[in-house]
């Protein structure tokens, strides 16, 4: 069991700071997801931890020892790449134990580990095949089996599910998470997919332009986003944000789609026209084009009886409202619950 601590880590490519003085920790046996949009620096962070990039500044501590300038092989880390990086000419069995062979692990030990990881990942029937004779999901499992066979205490994964179709991705999310928990692996997992982050992570590190926007348990990011960026990035549909005048000045009010109700049109309420209805079975997401707040998403259970073009009004309980500074985008203190705030929008 091992923990990872990142302190003031930076990486510049010329003038560009791809990773800009970030700090975070992955506790032993924890699955930490590095999440963020394309180009935010998450892969670079992972490559720095793996030792595939040299940091410009900062420390990478594994069990308290700085490995920032050690060779990848001396970091007690395995890595699963997006491309899986399998050898096409080698059998599945050879692919899985390749790293062990290179490290000079005895043949009997290799055979024992191969049998164990093959059983664990459901690959036992395919060991004699070549990678081209497997499906995408099976190849993904080979990459995972190879990482597990290495028995390194820390496993890094860079978008390992992005080549798979939606159904397989959902299955593999569960499999990877179950395996990581069963083996007590410390895992650092990169994705731009917030659903992957929310469903798999113990802890999410949300990045934006090389910096950490917010970190915490998935529910913390969802329920108390620290910034409008976090509010919009986590959750689908994204959090609705509307400008609001309060006694303390202008704010951006945020409200999640599931907390908005469609109500009778009335004074002081946000009104708008139904732009689209997306029926998902369990619920319906209604897109409403409002006069003041732009597009608004409303999620209601089951079917919604509304027609495209119809005028509707929106309401929500103020206890569900988030407040942000319109200039900095940062979360403002506790939500006021005085009756004067109970109407969603002033017009
Ligand atoms: P994606 O999800 O698209 O892979 P990412 O969040 O993983 O994005 P990085 O790959 O870490 O982002 O890239 C961060 C920034 O650093 C990007 O602007 C990228 O263009 C730049 N960058 C990454 N690698 C290099 C490199 N070797 N040389 C120059 N710039 C680089």
Q: State the Cα–Cα distance between residues 26 and 44, nearest whole angstrom.
A: 17
Q: Give the DSSP H or E segment for 279.
A: strand 270-279
Lowest mean pLDDT among 123-132, 207-216, 221-230, 287-296: 287-296
Which atom of ligand 1 is found nearest the CA of 36?
A: 6
Cβ–Cβ under 8 Å, residues 258 and 236: no
Mean pLDDT of 120-148: 89
Tokens of 289: 């084009």
Q: Band of the pLDDT at 342, cuts 50, 70, 90?
A: very low
Tell the residue nearest (CA) to atom 18 of ligand 1.
39
Which atom of ligand 1 is found nearest the CA of 11?
A: 16
Sheet containing 65-66: which strands, arranged edge to edge?
16-26, 4-13, 57-62, 65-66
Q: State the Cα–Cα distance between residues 300 and 304, nearest whole angstrom.
A: 7
Ligand 1 mean position to 205 CA, how many Å?
A: 17
* DSSP letter (8 states) at residue 28: T
Closest by CA to 79, choosing from 109, 47, 125, is 47
Does residue 237 have a cis bond before it (omega within 30 degrees)? yes
211-216 vs 203-208, strand pairing mode: antiparallel
Q: State the Cα–Cα distance between residues 292 and 300, nearest whole angstrom.
A: 22
**∠305-310-314 over CA atoms, to 5°?**
75
Closest by CA to 35, choosing from 217, 196, 229, 231, is 196
Give the pTM. Answer: 0.88
Ligand 1 mean position to 17 CA, how many Å?
A: 10
- What is the rounded average pLDDT for all residues in the chain? 90
Mean pLDDT of 215-228: 97
**∠294-298-304 over CA atoms, to 5°?**
130
Is it the case that residue 334 has pLDDT exceeding 70? Answer: no
Ligand 1, residues at Cβ distance < 6 Å: 13, 16, 18, 36, 38-44, 192
Ligand 1 mean position to 13 CA, how many Å?
A: 9
Cβ–Cβ under 8 Å, residues 207 and 20: no
| Residues sharing a CB contact under 8 Å with residue 338, sequence separation 6 or more, in sequence order | none
Is it the case that residue 347 has pLDDT exceeding 80? Answer: no
Q: What is the pLDDT of residues 76-94, one digit of tens each?
A: 898 888 777 899 999 999 9
Ligand 1 mean position to 82 CA, how many Å?
A: 15
Ligand 1 mean position to 121 CA, how many Å?
A: 32
Is it the case that residue 212 has pLDDT exceeding 70? Answer: yes
Q: State the Cα–Cα distance between residues 258 and 283, nearest whole angstrom.
A: 10
Residue 15: count other Cβ atoms within 10 Å of its Cβ: 5
């Amino acid at each position: 069991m091992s923990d990872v601590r990142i302190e003031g880590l930076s990486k510049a490519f010329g003038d560009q700071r791809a990773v800009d003085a970030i700090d975070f920790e992955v506790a032993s046996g924890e699955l930490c997801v590095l999440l963020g949009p394309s180009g935010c620096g998450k892969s670079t962070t992972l490559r720095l931890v793996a030792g595939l990039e040299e940091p410009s500044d900062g420390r990478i501590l594994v069990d308290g020892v700085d490995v920032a300038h050690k060779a990848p092989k001396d970091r007690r880390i395995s890595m699963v790449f997006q491309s899986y990086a399998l050898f096409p000419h080698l059998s599945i069995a050879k692919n899985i134990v390749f790293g062990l062979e290179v490290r000079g692990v005895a043949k009997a030990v290799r055979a024992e580990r191969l049998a164990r990881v093959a059983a664990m990942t459901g690959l036992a029937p395919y060991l004699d095949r070549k990678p081209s004779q497997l499906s995408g999901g099976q190849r993904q499992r080979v990459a995972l089996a190879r990482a597990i066979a290495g028995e390194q205490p820390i496993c890094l994964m860079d978008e390992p599910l992005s080549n798979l179709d939606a159904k397989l991705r959902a299955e593999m999310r569960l499999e990877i998470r179950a395996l990581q928990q069963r083996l007590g692996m410390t895992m650092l997992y990169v994705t731009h997919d917030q659903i992957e982050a929310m469903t798999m992570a113990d802890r999410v590190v949300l990045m934006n332009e090389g910096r950490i926007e917010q970190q915490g348990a998935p529910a913390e990011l969802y329920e108390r986003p620290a910034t409008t960026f976090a509010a919009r990035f986590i959750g689908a549909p994204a959090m609705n944000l509307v400008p609001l005048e309060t006694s303390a000045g202008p704010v951006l009010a945020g409200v999640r789609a599931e907390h908005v109700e469609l109500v009778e049109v009335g004074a002081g309420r946000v009104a708008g026209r139904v732009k689209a209805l997306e029926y998902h079975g369990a619920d319906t997401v209604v897109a409403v084009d409002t006069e003041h707040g732009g597009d608004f998403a409303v999620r209601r259970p089951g079917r919604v009886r509304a027609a495209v073009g119809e005028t509707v009004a929106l309401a929500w309980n103020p206890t569900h409202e988030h407040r942000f500074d319109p200039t900095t985008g940062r979360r403002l203190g506790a939500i006021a619950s005085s009756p004067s705030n109970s109407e969603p929008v002033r017009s």
